[in-house]
Structures are given as structure tokens and as C-alpha cells.
Amino acid sequence: MAVRHFLTLLDFTPEELQQVIERAIELKRMQKARVPHVKFPNYVLGMIFEKASTRTRVSFEAGFAHFGGHAMFLSPRDTQLGRGEPIADSAKVISSMVDIVMIRTFGHDLIEEFAKHSSVPVINALTDKTHPCQLLADMQTYIEHRGSIKGKRVSWVGDGNNMCHSYINAASQFDFELMIACPEGYLPDAELIAANSDRVTLVNDPIAAVRQSDLVVTDTWASMGQEDEKKARIKAFEGYQVNDKLMSYANPDALFMHCLPAYRGMEIDEDTLNAPYSVVWDEAENRLHVQKALMEFLLEQ
Ligand code: CP
Ligand code: NVA
């Protein structure tokens, strides 16, 4: 059978995504009860990071240690990847020595190229286009707090970025309605919107987006690689902050999520992360559990 990869949420069926999340909930219980699950001793996870990370690195590395495996951090600064060795050559060599690979990079085409030449599963740990691992954690978190997300209304407020794109994919894979409020010039990919027009609605007004919403989500206004645009973006996103006032237009039991890192005074105010509706700390922790379930799924194919 061809090797399976997880480059976007669309690489798995809705049933497989559910299965991964159910297993994540079980692995979380086991981890908290200190039930050993050394399933992959002597296995090696290769972790290629071309961008910074806290949650992704710690969760993958800790998760693979729970499985009894070893996680190897690879930075382009000190590998030949940073000196222009072709992706295909790197993929062939690295995948001949490790059992599974995760990559965080800029261009989505890089992970597609790597996966094409890899003999082991490749996981997208964030590209400029998508961040599917974060969506697994977000969906697990919603399910744990509120049950099924099917048929619910989710609101994305802010930049039409990689996280927003993964929310669009999640809307179709998890069967929910998605309202997106972005300022002009910062909209998500038009083709992706068109392909999901039956369940995704674009608006400019954040209040219109969050009305009757069950989950409100935002992210930084300037993603990694957009540092030079920060000033212009802060201006363009004025009025797009998620705070108590905006949350008051959502359903009374609406939850708030943010993949983190967050910038207080910008996309959120000082109190948003610790407000009663916020589940961001569970959301961050669930990266650990759901990526363990994801790696187990891919390694057991
Ligand atoms: N949410 C997320 O991916 O965080 P890091 O950039 O810290 O990995
Ligand atoms: N959109 C953000 C997400 C960080 C986890 C970025 O790409 O920098």
C-alpha cells in the first residue's frame, strides 16, 4: 500500500479524523493516569523546522518519547537543507533512516515534494498555506467541552491565513458552518472559498460573523514570515480584536480558541485568553495527545 501522509485535513476521510480524535481522548486519559504506552521503541521521528515553534516542537518530541521512540530536531541552519540540497534528495536520505517525519516550513510545495520522495509518512506541522495538526487539536477540544461540532456555527475573525484555510477544510471534513470576517486585502484563498461555498460565508464585519456562533477563533495578525508587514497589518485589522464585547454577540455557551502564540492588545485583549469562554490552554495541550494519535495511525497503516 502507498505510504500515507498528513499534509492537509483532506488526506484523511472524515471517519479517519474522528478515529484519530477518539484515540487522542483515550491517549490523554492514559497519559494522565500514567498508563505506559511504549508502542514504538527504537523508532525515530525526524522533525524539520524552518520556522520557530514552542507547542509543535514540545508536543511532537514529548509525544514520541511517550511512545518509547526518539525525536530528532533538524534545523536548516545546520543541515544541508539550508545549503540548497534538493528536497527530493533530502527526502530519500532522511526517510531511509527514520520512521516518520514532520515538517514546518514556508511553501506548501516543499512538503508536497518531500512527501513525494519519502518512503515514510510525512506530517505537515505548518506551512504558509495550512496548519492541519492544530485543527485536530481544536476539534478534539471542542468535542471534549461541547460534544460533536457537526451542524454548529464556527466564526473565524482576523487574517485569512494558514489557520483560516485549515478551518475551511475542517468545515467540510467535520460538517460545520463557517463564518469568516477578514478585512479587505487579507481574505483567504479564493479557490478554497469557492470550493466550500455551501458552508463557508465571507463577511467584513466581525459582529456579523460571530452572531449565533458556537465557537469563535482568531490568530495573530502577522504570521511567521510576515514580520515586515506588521505595522500595516495592525492598521488594517483595527476593529477585528476578539474581546468580551465581541464574544457577547456569540451564543452564551460559545467557546473561544487561538492556536497561540497570542498578542495581547492586538487580535485579543488582556483578558481574552483567561476569560470563562476561553479553552486555549486545553487546546494547546491537546496538540500532544492528538499528534500521538496521528503518528500512531500513520505508523500502523
Ligand atoms: N500553535 C502552534 O503551532 O504553536 P507553535 O508555533 O509554538 O508551535
Ligand atoms: N498563523 C500563524 C500560526 C502560528 C502557530 C503563523 O503561521 O505564524
Each residue of 192-226: pLDDT tens digit?
999 999 999 999 999 999 999 999 999 999 999 99
As a whole number of angstroms, the distance between CA 219 and CA 213 comes to 17
Burial 158-187 (b: 16+ CB within 10 A, else e): bbbbbbbbbbbbbbbbbebbbbbbbbeebe
As a whole number of angstroms, the distance between CA 257 and CA 80 comes to 37
The predicted pLDDT at position 1 comes to 73
Residues in CB range of 190: below 8 A, 6 or more apart? none
Which of 48, 50, 56 should be mutated for ligand 1, with most atoms under 8 A from CB?
Answer: 56
CATH class (in words) of the domain with range 134-280 = alpha beta
Residue type, 44: V
As a whole number of angstroms, the distance between CA 158 and CA 164 comes to 9
Span 22-39, pLDDT tens digits: 999 999 999 999 999 999
Residue type, 215: L
Check if 9-131+284-299 and 134-280 are the same fold.
yes
Q: Among residues 168, 174, 169, 145, which one has the least CA distance to residue 156?
A: 168
The predicted pLDDT at position 77 comes to 87
Domain residue limits, the chain: 9-131+284-299, 134-280
262 lines ligand 1 (CB under 6 A): no
- Report the pLDDT averaged over residues 275-286: 98
The predicted pLDDT at position 76 comes to 87
Distance of CA 82 to the CA centre of its chain: 25
% of the chain residues with pLDDT over 70:
100
Q: What Rg, from alpha-carbon coordinates, does the chain have?
A: 19
Classify domain 9-131+284-299 by CATH number.
Answer: 3.40.50.1370
- For ligand 2, what atom is nearest to the CA of residue 224? 8
Span 64-119, pLDDT tens digits: 999 999 999 999 888 999 899 999 999 999 999 999 999 999 999 999 999 999 99
124 lines ligand 1 (CB under 6 A): no
Q: What's the pLDDT band for 264 if we cut at 50, 70, 90?
A: very high
Would you call the peptide bond into 188 cis, given omega within 30 degrees of 0 as the criterion?
no
251 lines ligand 1 (CB under 6 A): no
- Report the pLDDT averaged over residues 130-141: 99
Q: Among residues 284, 229, 215, which one has the least CA distance to residue 53?
A: 284
127 lines ligand 2 (CB under 6 A): no
Q: How many CB atoms lie within 10 A of CB 34?
A: 6
